[in-house]
Amino acid sequence: MKALVCLIACALLASASAQEVFRWTDKNGKVHYGDQPPPEADAKAANLVKNRVSADGESFETRRAAQMAPLTLYTGADCKELCTQARDFLKKRKLPYSEQSITTPEQLAAFSRQSGQQTPQVPTLQVGTRYIEGFAPGSWGSAIDVAGYPK
């Protein structure tokens, strides 16, 4: 008898945890989560994965790392194969990044001053305040991991 009660309780808990969760923003800009959004709200289904709430597919860890150490990929017109490999590397890890193409001498001079590199090369990855010259998956991966991005 106890086993039957336990089995029924487990079935009820499993069905309760499988309910869909919605995310919406009210008129004051406050974000809400719930199993039923108000009728006037433009609610989106939110993914709950390992207690990480995400409405846009990005994990909490990714959003936090992007706030603390944003990623910027610097590319150039002559950088074909390596820049493609660099983009593919970042996309494969599903990392949010911005890309800046250095095409003019003025942009090159500004990038040189900003990065502290005498003769900057592309691709260069900026992780927060750190610049990593050239595409090196090992160095890039280590810097991204240290910045708190999930693997």
* Overall number of domains in the chain: 2
Shared domain check, 122 and 48: no
80: in domain = yes
Residue 1 has what pLDDT? 56
The C-alpha angle with vertex 23 and arms to 21 and 24, in degrees rounded to 5, equals: 145
Instruction: Please indicate, yes or no, whether residues 85 and 105 belong to a single structural domain of this protein.
Output: yes
Residues 92, 131, single domain; the answer is yes
* Per-residue tokens: 133: 């010259």
29: exposed, middle or buried (Cβ count in 10 Å: 0-12, 13-18, 19+): exposed
The CATH number that applies at residue 117 is 3.40.30.10
What pLDDT does residue 13 have? 47
Q: Which domain holds residue 50?
A: 20-57
Query: Residue 142 has what pLDDT?
Result: 95
> Taking the model in full, what pTM does it have?
0.62
- According to the model, what pLDDT value does residue 31 have? 72
Residue 15 belongs to some domain of the structure? no
| Neighbouring-strand partners of residue 49 | 52
Q: Are residues 52 and 97 in the same domain?
A: no
Angle CA 125–126–127, to nearest 5: 115
Q: Give yes or no for a contact between 24 and 45, defined as CB atoms under 8 angstroms apart.
A: no
Residue 2, pLDDT score: 58
| Percent composition of the chain: helix, strand, coil (DSSP 3-state, to 5) | 40, 25, 35
The mean pLDDT values, 10 residues at a time, for the chain of 151 residues are 51 52 72 72 62 58 91 93 95 94 92 88 94 94 94 84
Residue 2 lies in a domain: no
